[in-house]
Amino acid sequence: MDFSGTVLSAGEWAVPVVFAVVLHEIAHGYAALCFGDTTARDMKRLSLNPLRHVDPVGTVLFPLILILTSSPFVFGWAKPVPVNFARLRHPKKDMVWVALAGPAMNLFQALCAFFVLSVCKNVLHTGLPIEIQRFLLNIIVLNLSVMTFNLIPVLPMDGGRIVTGLLPLKWAVRFAKTERYGFGIIAFLLILLPVLGNYIGRDLDIVSRFLAITVQNLASFFVGFFGLGEKESIMGIGFFQLLIILLIVLVLFGRGKLPALAEDLGKSVSAFKKGLNGDKEEEKKEAPKEENKTAENDQPKKE
């Protein structure tokens, strides 16, 4: 492979990796901002500038090593966006939404790539250049991988944050204390355990294989859903309108519009109920006044 081909091949992987991890972190920051924490915004981490988010090891080197070694599972990380959970309006409940925002952004990117491939095949009936196809497939694989990896229910991963927010307070406090051991547990399961397995001649890479199988099953499901397989397409043109609505909802959620809309709707309903109660009270107050006036009119006038 010549130099230009090598650069192109590296770009086909590097660009999806950067966007997968950077947008993942930005989503966390925006979700925190929607629920009251301005830490990420104040530290200028809500930026598309990758230099503000890229971790040289986690974003570039580690995924590249996994790719070059033909690992069954590719993942990486960026510099975590700072979130002060104490500044959230409802820390325990809002923590779940902040943690979910990152994996949801990865799923959104993967769905966008699936959508482009599906439109080209099922609507436009045209093929894309092989380089663009590989680029879109890399977006799908990497984003599904990052999403699945981050949903591991171990602190400080997003999955651990979600579990903490869902557990009863007593158990949540106990589970939160395991965060100090989180990276050690992940390193043991993903690195040390497979090395030990190779040393004793056994396949102990259980977690990586489980994650790889999960990603493959997710990809297979969406391939069928978007009508990209060899079998008959299960996605008719009617589903495209539904998908567009879904994408709009995801975008609105990422921009914090849905929580604001829900809050405004709640205020409107409360105001409406209050207005109804106020009207009823005024009617009750006016009724005795009318009765008094009627009684006064019925009394004989003194000449």
pLDDT digit string (tens) for 68-99? 666 666 666 778 889 998 999 999 999 999 99
pLDDT-derived band at 2, boundaries 50, 70, 90:
low
**Residue 15's pLDDT is what?**
86
pLDDT at 272: 47
Q: CB under 8 Å to 14, separation ≥6 — which residues?
A: 60
CA dist 105 to 29, 85, 89, 150, 164, Å?
12, 20, 22, 12, 21
Of the listed 25, 230, 290, 296, which one is catalytic?
A: 25
Spans of all domains in the chain: 3-255, 258-303
Q: Which residue has the higher pLDDT, 42 or 183?
A: 42
Confidence of residue 261 (pLDDT cuts 50, 70, 90): very low
Mean pLDDT, all residues of the chain: 77
Q: Calculate mean pLDDT across residues 94-117.
A: 95
Q: Is-contact 26 53, C-beta < 8 A? A: yes
Q: What DSSP character marks residue 231?
A: S
Q: What is the pTM of this model?
A: 0.71
172 with 165: CB under 8 angstroms? yes
Taken in order 177, 180, 183, 184, the sign of the CA dihedral is: negative
Query: By three-state DSSP, how is residue 277 classified?
Result: helix
Q: Evaluate if residue 293 carries a pLDDT over 60.
A: no
Cβ pair 257, 249 in contact under 8 A: no
Q: Is the pLDDT of residue 118 over 60?
A: yes
**Does residue 189 contact residue 207 with C-beta atoms inside 8 Å?**
yes
Please, where are the H alpha helices in 43-90? 62-68
**Which is more confident, 251 or 130?**
130
Paired tokens of 238: 């009617």
Q: What is the pLDDT of residues 200-257, one digit of tens each?
A: 988 888 888 888 899 999 999 999 989 887 654 434 434 444 455 455 555 555 444 4
Q: How far is C-alpha 70 from the geometric centre of its chain's CA atoms?
A: 27
Q: Does an H or E element contain 3, and which?
A: helix 3-34
Token pair belonging to 253: 């959620």
Question: Once rounded to an integer, what is the mean pLDDT over residues 48-74?
Answer: 72
Nearest to 211 by CA among 288, 159, 169: 159
| Pick from 87-91, 178-182, 264-268: least confident | 264-268
Q: What are phi and psi of 51, to 5 degrees?
A: -65, -20
Residue 100 is encoded by which pair of tokens?
């979910």
Residue 137's pLDDT band (boundaries 50, 70, 90)? very high
Q: What secondary structure does DSSP assign to 192-226, as a single string?
A: IHHHHHHHHT----HHHHHHHHHHHHHHHHHHHHT
| Secondary structure (DSSP) of 95-158 | HHHHHHHHHHHHHHHHHHHHHHHHIIIIIS--PPPHHHHHHHHHHHHHHHHHHHHHTSSSTTSH
Residues 139-171: tens digit of each pLDDT: 999 899 889 989 999 998 999 999 999 999 999
User: CA separation (Å) from 155 to 35, 173, 283?
Assistant: 21, 12, 58
pLDDT at residue 115 is higher than 90:
yes
How far apart are the C-alpha atoms of 18 and 272, rounded to whole Å?
47
% pLDDT > 70, the chain: 68
- Measured distance CA(44)–CA(52) in Å, rounded: 8
pLDDT band at 269 (very low <50, low <70, confident <90, very high): very low
Place 277 in a pLDDT band, splitting at 50, 70 and 90. low
Q: What is the pLDDT of residue 242?
A: 46
Annotation marks residue 25 as catalytic: yes
pLDDT for the residue 4: 62
* % of the chain surpassing 90 pLDDT: 35
